Amino acid sequence: MELGYPNWKTFDEGIQKEYLITNGLGSFCSSTIIGANIRKYHGLLNASLVPPIKRHLLLSKIDETLEIDGEEYKLFSNQFVGKIDDGYLQLRRFNNYPIPKFIYGVKDIVISKEVAMEYEKNTVAVVYKINTGSKKVKMTFTPYVNFRDHHDVSKKGSFKYNQSYEKGTLKLTEESTGLNLKIISNCIYEADEDWSLPMFYENERYRGLDSIDFHFIPGIFHYEMEPHKKYTITFLATIEDSIEYTSEEIIENEKKRRTELVDRAGYSNPLLKNLVLASDNFIVKRESTKTKTIIAGYPWFTDWGRDTMIAFTGLTLTTKRFDDAKDILLTFTKYIKDGIIPNMFPDENTSPLYNTADGTLWFFYAVYKYLEYTNDLETVKDKIYPHLESIIKHHVKGTINNIYMDDDGLLSAGDEGTQLTWMDVKVGDWVVTPRHGKAVEINALWYNALKIMEEISNRLGYDGSEYGQLAEKAKKSFVEKFWNDNGKYLYDVIQNEKPVDIIRPNQILAVSLPFSILDREKEKLIVEKVYEELYTPFGLRSLSKKHKEYIGKYGGDVLKRDGAYHQGTVWAWLIGPFVEAYVKVNDYSKESKLNAKHMLEEFYYHMQDACIGNISEIFDGDEPHYPRGCVAQAWSVGEVLRTYVEVILD
């Protein structure tokens, strides 16, 4: 995706567009395309010290200045307290495919900059190629160094680096931990220690968080160039002990690796090619298991069970990354406890959290899809099926968090103080969206898990009839208790045997999942209701605009944001279930598939507007639906990709 100068005519326009680079470990490099860091998470090297967690900002940025005939020209942009640097005026083009590339023009000088991270290494490479014009040019590079958790900000003097320089390598040793950050360049280096001006993060201010940060400047790099010549200037920043590749080799290796990902997937559609590349951001190695997992979203989430299982098909199977798919499933089998997969691996290297009722049921869906794409019965039989049996038994007899199958065959979960569905916000004792009891999507998933278990058992030569009987019992009760005959849609949750009559998108899963729990007439009515009250071009609202508790804008401090998170905010991942349900109830007609194609292709334009080449986590419920939350979300990308491949291309 290529953007040009009209996309950043002003500073405010430029900071609306971001880029993201990852390394398969949870580490990342990110900023706005004009180079101004507006989030505390922005930086050239956010390194995961215990992959994929413990991410620390080590190198914030490198500011570049040209000097021609004694006059200085900035290529960098910054927002400090009371001061804005306007280097974006020199930026001519930006392209993210297959890696980010920036083209600058200053008088008759053309400069390209490419940035990449070495795959599965905490290393970032920056390569400049300069075509000089009629004058001598001196370029100066100012590194902004930090040492902090990526959720925090630094005060002046809050950390200390000791530096040494030898043969093109600047070695910075963080005093309290002994961590070594090396910056390697073919420039000349001069030590000149200082602290930056207070950097202001507009996005953190909007989120009601600390928005002032200070960076350490160890010195400057510079390089002098003659007229009418071509030059290459390189930087490599790393915390690795050994360095195998040069900056230029890292750039070329990443171009090749990412191009091969697109080639392997085999799609020619521009949307799908960009989604394949976006998928790569989320598939990472977990140090504790030595296997792959899925990061839920950048810049702040780690790996979540629910998000992983929903994103799984799109990120790994439609992209033909079948080995990664198997690895991910096996990663989560290692951590099953009391019949529940982990909901979250905390940012500290501590025990997983199991506060989920749906993540484990989505695991069945992921296994079902894995078999559909790979037919790998051997792995499922030997390494997964016994876990599936145990999960069902635990749910039937009852397990942690008050999750149990009731006498009516439906699944009940939680109590008034817990949040176990994907609408899971809890602020202190305030449960924002109380959905304990029998939630509609939990029971649609439960029915599908039982049907999937029945089918897999039969395929493996086992008797699956017990699961089929449980499924039929659940189906009968589901129709009796969830169908709202007055409104012609599904209740959202049954609490104390009383239905909660509220229009949320969760009911769409009763239509979209592989095994139908309702007749076609009811399915059609649900799709119509969801389309009427919840559909937007970027997904489904989490609550109908007609409801008195609807909140149309997501922003402000933590309390305000959490209060709006599932109270009207649009969720991009829900476009997948909606499109699938829409085409299904229209009997997969050519017209319905064309309409669905248009719905999904709305995201191609979004991918040129926020984090380039990625899909945001959420959007405002009110028009014009500004993107919010994580700038790149796994299940948003995965569901758009999966649905396009399975529904439109099929």
Q: Could you tell me what percent of the chain has a pLDDT over 70?
A: 99
What pLDDT score does 191 carry?
A: 97
> Does some domain include residue 229?
yes
Higher pLDDT, 286 or 137: 137
C-alpha span between 138 and 131 (Å, rounded): 13
Pair 482, 553 in one domain: no
98-110 pLDDT, tens digit each: 999 999 999 999 9
Contact (Cβ atoms closer than 8 angstroms) between residue 313 and residue 577? no
Pair 89, 143 in one domain: yes
In this prediction, residue 348 has a pLDDT band, given cuts at 50, 70 and 90, of: low
Work out the average pLDDT over 423-434: 92
Pair 37, 126 in one domain: yes
> Does some domain include residue 489?
yes
483-518 pLDDT, tens digit each: 999 999 999 999 999 999 999 999 999 999 999 999
C-alpha span between 57 and 39 (Å, rounded): 12
Pair 363, 415 in one domain: no
C-alpha span between 123 and 182 (Å, rounded): 9
434-444 pLDDT, tens digit each: 999 999 999 99
Pair 176, 316 in one domain: no
566-617 pLDDT, tens digit each: 999 999 999 999 999 999 999 999 999 999 999 999 999 999 999 999 999 9
In this prediction, residue 290 has a pLDDT band, given cuts at 50, 70 and 90, of: confident
Mean pLDDT taken over the chain: 97
Pair 368, 418 in one domain: no
Cβ burial of 624 (10 Å; 0-12, 13-18, 19+) is exposed
Match 């702040």 to its residue by tokens. 300
Other residues' Cβ atoms within 10 Å of the Cβ of residue 113: 22
Domain stops at, among 208, 225, 257 = 257
In this prediction, residue 288 has a pLDDT band, given cuts at 50, 70 and 90, of: confident
What pLDDT score does 552 carry?
A: 97
Work out the average pLDDT over 191-216: 96
User: Is the confidence at residue 650, as pLDDT, over 90?
Assistant: no
Pair 479, 540 in one domain: no
Pair 319, 453 in one domain: no
- Measured at the alpha carbon of residue 311, what is the angle toward residues 306 and 313, in degrees to the nearest 5? 120
Number of structural domains, the chain? 4
Smallest CA-to-CA distance from 490 within 525, 453, 535, 462 is with 525
Pair 168, 28 in one domain: yes
148-190 pLDDT, tens digit each: 999 999 999 999 999 999 999 999 999 999 999 999 999 999 9
The domain in which residue 377 lies consists of 267-402
In this prediction, residue 347 has a pLDDT band, given cuts at 50, 70 and 90, of: low
Pair 110, 181 in one domain: yes
